Chains A and B, each alone.
Chain A
Amino acid sequence: MIDVGNLIQGARIHGSLYRDPDVFERELNEIWYKVWVYVGHESEIPNPGDFVRRTIGRQPVIVVRAADGTVKAFFNRCRHRGNMVCHPERGNVTAFTCPYHGWTYSTEGALLQPTFEDGYDSKLRREDFGLVPLPRLDAYRGLIFASVSPEGISLDEHLGGAKEFIDLFMDLSPTGRVSLTAGNQKVRYSGNWKFMPENSMEGDYHGPFIHRVAFELHSKKTGFDVSSLYENEIPDVIRSLAGGHMVEDYRGATIVPPARPPSAARRAYAEAMERAYGEEKARRLLGTMAPLIYIFPNLMYLMTHIRVVQPVSVAETFVHYQPMLLDGAPDEINEERLRMHEFMFGAAGFISPDDIEIMERIQSAVNAGGNEWLFIGRGEHRDKLLPDGGSTGFTMDENHIRGFWQHYSTVMNAGG
């Protein structure tokens, strides 16, 4: 068996962690089938019978708003002969009927009807053949998490210090609620899934190299200049949270917005925020960019959207970019957010495709031998350790990536 501990040595990460199929299989069992995995947002299933089809590792899952209004999650597999009960990606049902032999389940998962029931032994109990629920299901601020494992820490404990950062982006809405109803840009890349969180939370270091032109185009158009982020590195921007979560926290950074009169929609949005949160908190929320966050293992929030990383195989990954609309904000604000999102993200955006191209190149390059180690040592000498097990670093430091790997190592070795 692979000793993952030997492959992660502080700031040295062994290349095989990105390319070894055995590592991937172990990740399925020790990460994807053990920990809390993000499976959707409540706004995607507002009404009874609404469902979305999701995947945890390789396991197909249905997340549904049951007739009684509660959220349920089931393994998407008919109890009869194993067919996928729910095939559409999203929709609304009164019941789930397996198309193969017509077995029908309620949105609460109960078997309503094994068809041609007279041919079954009278001792067969319907209650033994309900859809199997995910052993654990919980939500925080509308974000729904499930776990394939019946045992483990609570979601509250898993999120820990991340909740404060989730609150910050949720509170960009004057109602404190957001909607992930604006669609889903889906991209695939030929690379390992771990490149996505590593890269997504490290934009300040690689940004001036691979995103320079996009930054320049943006700043030419809007007057918004991000170069100040690089000229003077700021402490505590990079945060590693206990639990393998990563944060880029710009609250301490002075980002001067362009001196232009705000639009009527901007003013209306600011006023709605002040009414909701009071002047001081509203100014704080709007005065800087909300922190970017990665929640181990598959959920991210970045600027305009919720990003979900979905491993397919050791060298193939799906990534979903779902723009986040702010409930209670003027329509123009949400439209602006969509256009900003398209500028940066998705297959045809001006920023994330360069990241993805790099991930594909690394996937090829880590086949190279010689020295197998990747180095994530920036800022190691100045890590500021926090009492809760996290740490902070300067703008371009890599302490959060080290934290991610440390947690990864713990989880991967927990199964023995």
Chain B
Amino acid sequence: MGDAQIEAFLTREARLMDEGRYREWLDLWTEDARYWVPCNDDDIDPARQVSIIYDDRDRLTQRVERLLSGSVLSQQPRPRMRRVISNIEIGPRDGTEVTVESNFILGVARGGTKHLWIGRSIHQLRETGDALKIARKKVLLIDNDQEIPLLQFLI
């Protein structure tokens, strides 16, 4: 898993999220996935503290099923969104896994308003056969301790 492959993976994940390609995005994850958006602070104990998102594979699948159902009201119509990922820092390889940190700015346009979501993603990627997968992803929103609008898409 070279640096270029890792960066291409993050770029592709970003595009799938931006374009609402939920099923393809779900396929990027391992079976023991953990998708985590902490609340109030970046370092909390999820066993004792609430998160904005703390999904295992089951919950992640439910999240995608719900988005695909067409029933999510704030996704009718689906807002246009694009994100830029940058400041990518690739950690040392640890066996089949590598931790990658990156910053993102995501613009979401809907109903005449635009909202910027800004944060840092920490991906733990795993080599499985011929593909990279996300084993763990933690998203540190800069405003996770403040009043935020609805987050009914993938971040």
The answer to whether the Cβ of B147 comes within 8 Å of any Cβ in the partner chain is yes
The answer to whether the Cβ of A205 comes within 8 Å of any Cβ in the partner chain is no
**Once the chains bind, are B66 and A217 in contact (CB under 8 Å)?**
yes
A321 → B minimal CB distance (Å): 8
**Residues of B contacting A323 in the complex (Cβ-Cβ under 8 angstroms):** 50
Contact of B151 among A335, A338, A347 (CB under 8 A): A347
**Once the chains bind, are A186 and B147 in contact (CB under 8 Å)?**
yes
Contact of B50 among A213, A342, A357 (CB under 8 A): A342
A43 → B minimal CB distance (Å): 13
The answer to whether the Cβ of A126 comes within 8 Å of any Cβ in the partner chain is no
**Once the chains bind, are B66 and A221 in contact (CB under 8 Å)?**
no
A302 → B minimal CB distance (Å): 14
**Once the chains bind, are B59 and A213 in contact (CB under 8 Å)?**
no
The answer to whether the Cβ of A224 comes within 8 Å of any Cβ in the partner chain is no
**Once the chains bind, are B39 and A210 in contact (CB under 8 Å)?**
no
**Once the chains bind, are A348 and B71 in contact (CB under 8 Å)?**
no
The answer to whether the Cβ of A411 comes within 8 Å of any Cβ in the partner chain is no
Interface residues of A in 272-291 (CB under 8 A from B): none
Complex Cα spacing A223 to B151, Å = 27
**Once the chains bind, are B151 and A348 in contact (CB under 8 Å)?**
yes
**Once the chains bind, are A217 and B149 in contact (CB under 8 Å)?**
no
Contact of A354 among B39, B49, B65, B72 (CB under 8 A): B72
The answer to whether the Cβ of B58 comes within 8 Å of any Cβ in the partner chain is yes
**Once the chains bind, are A188 and B149 in contact (CB under 8 Å)?**
yes
Complex Cα spacing A339 to B51, Å = 9
The answer to whether the Cβ of B47 comes within 8 Å of any Cβ in the partner chain is yes
**Residues of B contacting A187 in the complex (Cβ-Cβ under 8 angstroms):** 147-150
**Once the chains bind, are A182 and B49 in contact (CB under 8 Å)?**
yes
**Once the chains bind, are B53 and A221 in contact (CB under 8 Å)?**
no
**Residues of B contacting A189 in the complex (Cβ-Cβ under 8 angstroms):** 149-150
Complex Cα spacing A105 to B73, Å = 49
Question: Closest chain A residue to B52 by CB distance?
Answer: A348
**Once the chains bind, are A341 and B66 in contact (CB under 8 Å)?**
no
Interface residues of B in 107-155 (CB under 8 A from A): 145-152
Complex Cα spacing A353 to B44, Å = 24
Complex Cα spacing A322 to B40, Å = 11
**Once the chains bind, are A358 and B62 in contact (CB under 8 Å)?**
no
- By DSSP majority rule, is chain B's interface helix, strand, loop, or mixed? loop
CB 8 Å contact bits of A321-348 with B (1 = contact, 0 = none): 1110100000100110011011100111
Interface size on B, residues (CB 8 A): 32
**Once the chains bind, are A348 and B48 in contact (CB under 8 Å)?**
no
**Once the chains bind, are A210 and B65 in contact (CB under 8 Å)?**
no
Complex Cα spacing A23 to B67, Å = 38
Complex Cα spacing A338 to B45, Å = 11
Known pairs A348-B53, A356-B150; A185 contacts B39 (CB<8 A): yes
Complex Cα spacing A407 to B148, Å = 31
The answer to whether the Cβ of B96 comes within 8 Å of any Cβ in the partner chain is no
**Residues of A contacting B50 in the complex (Cβ-Cβ under 8 angstroms):** 182-185, 321-323, 338, 341-342, 346
Complex Cα spacing A323 to B151, Å = 19
Contact of A335 among B47, B58, B147 (CB under 8 A): B47
The answer to whether the Cβ of B87 comes within 8 Å of any Cβ in the partner chain is no
The answer to whether the Cβ of A373 comes within 8 Å of any Cβ in the partner chain is no
**Once the chains bind, are B62 and A348 in contact (CB under 8 Å)?**
no
**Once the chains bind, are A334 and B48 in contact (CB under 8 Å)?**
yes
Contact of B74 among A183, A335, A353 (CB under 8 A): A353
Complex Cα spacing A217 to B59, Å = 10
A183 → B minimal CB distance (Å): 4
B109 → A minimal CB distance (Å): 15
Question: Closest chain B residue to A312 by CB distance?
Answer: B147
**Residues of B contacting A343 in the complex (Cβ-Cβ under 8 angstroms):** 59, 62
Of B37, B44, B50, B147, most A-chain CB atoms within 10 Å? B50
Contact of A350 among B46, B66, B145, B148 (CB under 8 A): B66
A77 → B minimal CB distance (Å): 22
The answer to whether the Cβ of B69 comes within 8 Å of any Cβ in the partner chain is yes
**Once the chains bind, are B150 and A221 in contact (CB under 8 Å)?**
no
Question: Closest chain B residue to A334 by CB distance?
Answer: B48
Interface residues of B in 20-41 (CB under 8 A from A): 37, 39-40
Complex Cα spacing A252 to B33, Å = 41
**Once the chains bind, are B53 and A342 in contact (CB under 8 Å)?**
yes
**Once the chains bind, are A348 and B66 in contact (CB under 8 Å)?**
no
Known pairs A186-B147, A221-B62, A342-B54; A357 contacts B49 (CB<8 A): no
The answer to whether the Cβ of A267 comes within 8 Å of any Cβ in the partner chain is no
- Residues of chain A touching chain B, judged by Cβ–Cβ distance below 8 Å, are 89, 181-189, 210, 212-214, 217, 221, 318, 321-323, 325, 331, 334-335, 338-339, 341-343, 346-348, 350, 353-354, 356-358, 361
A sample of 13 inter-chain contacts (CB < 8 A) reads A183-B39, A187-B148, A189-B150, A217-B62, A217-B65, A217-B66, A323-B50, A339-B59, A353-B72, A353-B73, A354-B73, A356-B74, A357-B74
Question: Knowing that A335-B48, A353-B74 are A-B contacts, what are 8 other residue pairs whose CB atoms are under 8 Å apart, sorted by A's residue number?
Answer: A184-B50, A212-B71, A217-B62, A342-B53, A346-B52, A348-B152, A353-B151, A356-B150
